[in-house]
Amino acid sequence: RIRRFKETFPQCQLLLLGREESPLTPRAIRPVPIRHWFYRPFPPQELERILGAAGNSLQRQWRQEHRHSRSLSGFEGLVGSHPKLLEALDMARRVAASPRTTVLILGETGTGKGMLAKAIHTESPRVGGPFIEVNCGAMPPNLMESELFGHVKGAFTSAVADKPGLLELADGGSVFLDEVGELDLPLQAKILKFLDDGQIRRVQGTETLHVDARMITATNRNLDSEVAEKRFRLDLLHRLNVVTIWLPPLRERPEDIPLLARHYLGELSARIRGHALTWTDDALAVLQKYDWPGNVRELINLTERMVLIGSQDERIDAADLPAELSATKAVLAVPPSGGPPIVEFPPGGVAFRDVERAVLEAALGRTHGNVTEAARLLRMSRGSLRYRLEKLGLREKASRRRGRPMKRRSRAA
């Protein structure tokens, strides 16, 4: 029974109390490690000393594991040890100490840009102030202006009272503008003015308000391309990217997938089921081979799904995972000599539309969303490529960066 208890709770330190004549001796239960044996009668002072020493030992052990956990997870659950991720976390730690510096976070959807923004705020001198998060693509431009800057009573039909904007509410803290590339040009001009002088004015208001808030922004778009297409202001880009941090997609750091999977499974299963579940090695191998188009967010969602509706056992196996994670895909390769492409089909075949989509996405990824360069790579006209992108619903991806940091433009003199 003691051996089973120690196997179930290996971190517990055992203190046993027995009679001298008891057959239960240290030799009888070896190799179970016992911290201390007590034989009746025993002095209370000795018991107090031993319990204190055991408590101190457990506390040291907890601190060591906590430091290890923080070294793995970095900021706010950004788990991993890949050099590109560690570089991003190191930059975030350094910029966090400068409470007025603007930060632009780049990365694909689901890479953890919001987590990193919150971590920068949490690790900064502004931690005592509010952290206001705004999704710039969540509402039309006219409503977004009122949301950010507030309005006065009577500014429009439904404005029945004065309302402070989110920038105003962020005073003393940080404001995080997610998907900043979605802002229209007039709103970009108002954001630029706020960054220049720290002042705002509510919609239809006459009073100028001073707001002290650090601005952190994020996007999965190629803002250089947006500037070239006259959809984003170059002067605003210069103000936003004083420090630029790029978060790599999950497919570029497959060695981090087991760390992430274990981290979130332990966290979610403890919260939902009340005890920790584990992955089998086979399940982790499947997760590691998947390319995770939704990145860390997709992995978190899958993990929560497994905890809720997966196996009722203590371990989640490969058989419990959705079929699409291990489905065989068509393989398309082009010889270095430039000969005809080589296609390997899975047993069940593949839809041509899926192959076409994969080729177009790969070309856009190689050219960082540049349609002209992608058309040249595919040896087709720019117009033909645009037609195919629109047909497959990929037009938006043509203006977005796919997994590389944005090239910095030189500042105007």
Q: What is the pLDDT of residues 148-161, one digit of tens each?
A: 999 888 888 888 88
The average pLDDT across 113-119 equals 94
Q: Which residues make Cβ contacts (< 8 Å) with residue 206, sequence separation at least 6?
A: none
| Residue type for position 284 | L
Higher pLDDT, 95 or 61: 95
DSSP code of residue 221? B
**pLDDT in the model for residue 139:** 85
Q: What is the pLDDT of residues 364-390, one digit of tens each?
A: 888 888 888 888 888 899 888 988 888
Q: What is the pLDDT of residues 227-236, one digit of tens each?
A: 999 999 999 9
**pLDDT in the model for residue 117:** 95
Higher pLDDT, 112 or 338: 112
Nearest residue to 102 (alpha-carbon basis) of 198, 214, 235: 214
- The CATH architecture annotation of domain 331-399 reads Orthogonal Bundle (1.10)
**The overall pTM is greater than 0.75:** no
Q: What is the pLDDT of residues 388-413, one digit of tens each?
A: 888 887 876 665 544 444 444 444 43
Residue 186: band (very low, low, confident or very high) from pLDDT cuts 50, 70, 90: very high
Q: What is the pLDDT of residues 39-71, one digit of tens each?
A: 666 667 777 777 777 766 666 664 454 444 444
**pLDDT in the model for residue 302:** 96
Q: Using CA atoms of 265, 87, 64, 255 in order, give the dihedral in degrees to the nearest 10.
A: 40
Cα gap 356→41, rounded to integer Å: 81
Cα gap 51→54, rounded to integer Å: 5
**Domain boundaries defined on the chain:** 2-73, 83-248, 251-325, 331-399
- The CATH architecture annotation of domain 251-325 reads Orthogonal Bundle (1.10)
Same fold flag, 83-248 and 251-325: no
**pLDDT in the model for residue 402:** 43
Q: Which fold has domain 83-248?
A: Rossmann fold (3.40.50)
**pLDDT in the model for residue 248:** 94
Higher pLDDT, 192 or 363: 192
List the beta strands (DSSP E) in 122-238. 131-135, 150-151, 163-164, 174-178, 199-201, 208-210, 214-219
**pLDDT in the model for residue 11:** 59
